[in-house]
Structure 1
């Protein structure tokens, strides 16, 4: 079962509200080293933290990070992009490509690059941060990419289980970070989210439904489509 004690953790999007909490809580749980990656990495006041530059949309950047950090035991795919407009037909080409590359291809390619190194390694785990909007298509391309990542995480879990790599998928609604600053709805504290994710990982769980929104939306998948999207009844 994965444990953070003595782990070597790599976190994407480490500069953000959720990423920062992952760094802090991984260290608090006994991680031996944390690679804190971001497009523009910052300094940390802890010798156990190694800042690394990583652009998850750039294959060369992914290769460079794998070469610089080959001892990883826990990979946390946290970096993400959002888009202000919810209409999937109104997104710009740039917004669509940025969301697909950041939210879906980046985590998938990073997991693929690390899979041979994680295989057979004690305590090996991959944690993918999805979204409740993977199950509720009101976020346009953001919802679509998070749904794709959810599916890819399920595939990774099946393919990597025989090699002893534990794969965790995380669903959550709004989190109190800069990305959701414009939202007035209830938000999860990022520290609470990260604590729940790491608790679940160390218990050997495969999926985290971090708030009531995620619980309700997953349950709603078994209902008729008109129940999830009542506007279809009057379309």
Structure 2
């Protein structure tokens, strides 16, 4: 999917990766970019149309689809992490992660895919995470929600085959955003990661492995992790 002269919408566009997606879409010549966020008053990039959008709110998603009209590109970037543990984390936090990271992205697809199918063109970029393939002593509910997002992209690719609609999934490791601010690990610069992602997105890559962590972990998915020994 070529970006120049396209109409694009980015969710979670007020900071982090979302802000970079919006800025770089403009730099690459997108004709119109809609920056969507729950708090659009914090979007400070010139040259964009702002939308108030909570992706978990079906009515707001429908209103966004009506406002944008014929979108060529939908970037499902909005995300939420509570760092909850599966066994003793708050269920409300775990449900929120699934609602935002999986159902929110799916609602955007269901709102925009019919118009794309009617025109025979369009593209989705769904932001997942290497956490879909990992387990830690925390954040495993976030990982489960991103695994669902990854599986969703794989399924959508099959359901939309032959319609002219591209479905790309973005997998990435730790990135220097507000979500990761309290985690002391090496982090990707958001601008460089988004540049890699958009380069491959324009080339039609289905599964974008944007950094070394994503490439290494994908290659190791078939590795035997051992067996339970009590």
- Alignment TM class, shorter chain as reference: over 0.9
Q: Please list, as runs of the form range in 1=range in 2, the aligned pairs for 1:203-218 lying within 5 A after superposition.
A: 203-218=203-218
* Superimposed CA distance per residue, residues 58-88 of structure 1 (whole angstroms, 9 cap, x where no aligned partner): 1111111111111210000000000133x21
Range moving further from structure 2, 29-38 or 214-223 = 214-223
Say if 1:111 and 1:126, in contact at 8 Å, map to a contact too.
Answer: yes
Which residues of structure 1 form unaligned runs of 5+? 227-231
SS of the residue 2:36 aligns to: strand
**Cα deviations across residues 103-146 of structure 1 (Å, max 9, x unaligned)?**
00000111011111112546511000000000113231100000
Aligned-residue CA RMSD (Å)? 1.5
| Structure 2 segments unaligned to the other structure (5+ residues) | none
The offset of 1:195, in angstroms, is: 0.5
Instruction: Provide the C-alpha distance between the structure 2 equivalents of 1:174 and 1:45, rounded to a whole number of angstroms.
Output: 25
Matches within 5 A, 1:45-194: 45-47=45-47, 49-85=48-84, 87-119=85-117, 121=119, 124-138=122-136, 139-194=139-194
User: Secondary structure of the equivalent of 2:74?
Assistant: strand
CA contact (8 A) 1:120 1:164 kept: no
Residue 169 of structure 1 deviates from its aligned partner by 0.4
> Structure 1 residue 225: deviation in Å?
2.6
- Deviation of 1:159 after TM superposition, in Å, equals 1.4
Higher mean C-alpha deviation, range 148-157 or range 206-215:
206-215
TM-score by length of 2: 0.94
The runs of at least 4 aligned residues of structure 1 exceeding 4 Å deviation read 232-235
Indicate the larger mover: 112-121 or 51-60: 112-121
Count of matched residue pairs: 227
Q: For residue 119 of structure 1, give the secondary structure of its aligned residue in structure 2.
A: helix
- TM-score normalised to structure 1 length: 0.92
